Structure 1
Amino acid sequence: MPPYRLQTLIEMRERAKEEAEQAFSAAVKALAKEKEELQRLEEELVTRKAMRKQKVQEYLQQVMAKGVTGIGGFNQMNRYEERLKDEEAQLALEVERQKDAVITAEKLVEQKRREMAEAAKELKAIEKHKENWKKQLKEERDKKEEMNQEEIGNTLFMMRQRK
């Protein structure tokens, strides 16, 4: 049987398919990592809000317990609370950025999934071509064999006729 002349193409398509599968796997892992980071940031934001409320409440109780007169104690408490709120706002911005990163990672996963499917489809097409080529080669060989057998049969028939 002669070598398949497109074997190099099959090997290239197989490598492309493997690379696409690896890229898809890496994209899925990256998406999982981004989602974990988003979850962590969201949990941290919830924790900070709860801690801020608790600390403000504790500070208010301290001020009341000391009996500090005047606005000074309340101003300090307000500044402290504002600083905590600013930190929360900064964290909320990080959460939003992370949500964008998750969306980007999801789009990348979908793109890699399409590339992987395309690579598999191309490999399957060339493999189908190879199967058809083998089938055609076998049919041609069988026809030649049949013609040879028929020729041998005719020759034997002619030889018997001459005797």
Structure 2
Amino acid sequence: MPPYRLQTLLEMRERAKEEAEQAFSDAVKALEKQKAELQRMEQELVTRKAERKQKVMAYLQQVMAKGNAGVNGFNQMNRYEERLKDEEAQLALEIERQKETVRQAEKLVEQRRREMAEAAKELKAIEKHKENWQKQIRAERQAKEDLNQEEIGNTLFLMRQRK
């Protein structure tokens, strides 16, 4: 059988499909990593809020136990609580940024999925072309062989007729 004239293209499409599959796999892994980071940050925010409430209650009990629950003690407690709330707000902003990062990663995964599907479709098309080409070559060979067999048969028939 003669060499397939589009073999190079077939190999290129196979490599493109493998690369698309690898890119998709990498994108999925990156998405899972970003989701895990988002979940960790959200859990940290919940933990910080709970810790803030505990610390404020502990400080309030400490001030009450000492008996000097003056304005200065409450002001210090309010400033401390505000600082903790500011840290929580900063973490909430980081969570929003992380959510955007997750959305971008999801878009990238979808894009890679489409690219992988397109690469698979292109590979399938060239493979189908190769199959049809091989069928055509086999059919041509069979036709030539049939013609040769017929010529041999005709030649033998004519030789027998002459005797």
| TM-score normalised by L of structure 2 | 0.98
SS in 2 for 1:139: helix
| Matching residue of 2:91 | 91
**Does structure 1 residue 61 correspond to structure 2 residue 82?**
no
Identity, % of aligned pairs? 82
Shift of 1:70: 2.7
Distance in 2 of aligned mates of 1:68 and 1:17: 74
- Which 4+ runs in 1 deviate beyond 2 A? none
Local SS of the residue matching 2:85: helix
Specify the alignment match of 1:5 in structure 2.
5
Aligned equivalents of 2:70, 2:112: Cα separation in 1: 64
Deviations 1:16-45 (A, max 9, x none): 011001100100110010011001000000
In 1: Cα distance, 2:70 partner to 2:52 partner: 23
- Which residue matches 2:37? 37
Which residue does the alignment assign to 2:27?
A: 27
Q: Which runs of 5+ in 2 are unaligned?
A: none
Q: CA RMSD in A?
A: 0.7
Match of 2:18 in 1: 18
C-alpha distance after superposition, 1:34-61 (max 9, x if no partner): 0110010000000000000000000111
Question: What residue identity is the alignment partner of 1:20?
Answer: A
Distance 1:70 1:15 in 2: 75
Q: Which residue does 1:76 correspond to in 2?
A: 76
What are the Cα deviations for residues 64-91 of structure 1, in whole angstroms up to 9, with x where unaligned? 1111143111111100000000000000
Which residue identity does 1:103 align to in structure 2? Answer: R
Count of paired positions? 163
Matched, 1:147 2:147: yes
Q: Secondary structure at 1:38's aligned position in 2?
A: helix
Q: 1:40/1:161 Cα in 2 relative to 1: closer, same or farther (>3 Å)?
A: same
- 2:31 maps to amino acid: L
Instruction: Provide the C-alpha distance between the structure 1 equivalents of 2:87 and 2:15, rounded to a whole number of angstroms.
Output: 49
Q: CA–CA distance in 2 between the matches of 1:59 and 1:132?
A: 82
Q: Secondary structure at the match of 1:111?
A: helix
* Unpaired stretches in structure 1, ≥5 consecutive residues: none
- Determine whether 1:103 maps to 2:109: no
Alpha-carbon distance in 1 for matches of 2:123, 2:69: 81
